[in-house]
Amino acid sequence: MAKTEDVERFVVITGGPGSGKTTLIEALSKRGFASFPEAGRAIIRDQVAIGGQALPWADRELFAELMLGWELRSHEAARERAGRIIFDRGVPDIAGYLSLSGLAVPAHVDNAARQFRYRSEVFIAPPWREIFGQDEERKQDFAEAERTYQAMVATYGDYGYRLCEVPRCRVEERVDFIQARIAGDS
């Protein structure tokens, strides 16, 4: 768990697949922000490579458990770094994913989302059809991207976060928007 003074340093960017989160985080990294990547894509790559079953199209509950472990390790590692840290999704995303999948949120996932906290304002990238795309790891269609967005809105709200929608504009403008919002926290 992060100390109270750490929490506001931990900035989450969430949203549905194909909303430009990763591109945005990479651009923030180029401006000097430390970041932690999304768990889902890495887990999918690893599971496909080893023939594992912890995949969203094979065993959603096992996939969620691996994502939870990843997010908890990222949260712990962030405490060792100085300055603002950008997370591509956070612990509450796992609860949102399970809910979206029609699965119960186990008590330990709920407890993790309540205990491992982030900055009170979470950035959410909205569905954006013009930039949406699918690939080997992102098999969801645009309708699921919209449902994921709604699930994250509900989930982060349930855990007491304020959501700030990232505008649909050029990457540099999105970076400027986020940088301006978090500049007042320094």
CA–CA separation, 80 vs 21, rounded Å? 24
The structural domains of the chain, with segments of one domain joined by +, span 4-183
Of the candidates 131, 120, 149, the one whose C-alpha atom is nearest the C-alpha of residue 12 is 120
pLDDT tens digits, 133-174: 655 555 567 788 889 999 999 999 999 999 999 999 999 999
Counting residues of the chain whose pLDDT is more than 90, the rounded percentage is 76
Question: Which range, of 4-13, 57-66, 133-142, 147-156, averages the lowest pLDDT?
Answer: 133-142
Token pair 């919002």 in the structure block, residue = 181
The residue type found at 26 is: E
- 47-51, long-range: CB < 8 A, 24+ apart: 48/136
Supply the pTM of this predicted model: 0.91
Dmax over Cα atoms in the chain, in whole Å? 46
pLDDT tens digits along 87-103:
999 999 999 999 999 99
Q: Which fold has domain 4-183?
A: Rossmann fold (3.40.50)
Distance CA 162, CA 119 (A): 9
Beta bridge partners of 85: 10, 34
Using DSSP bridges, classify how beta strands 162-165 and 85-88 pair: parallel, antiparallel or unpaired.
Answer: unpaired
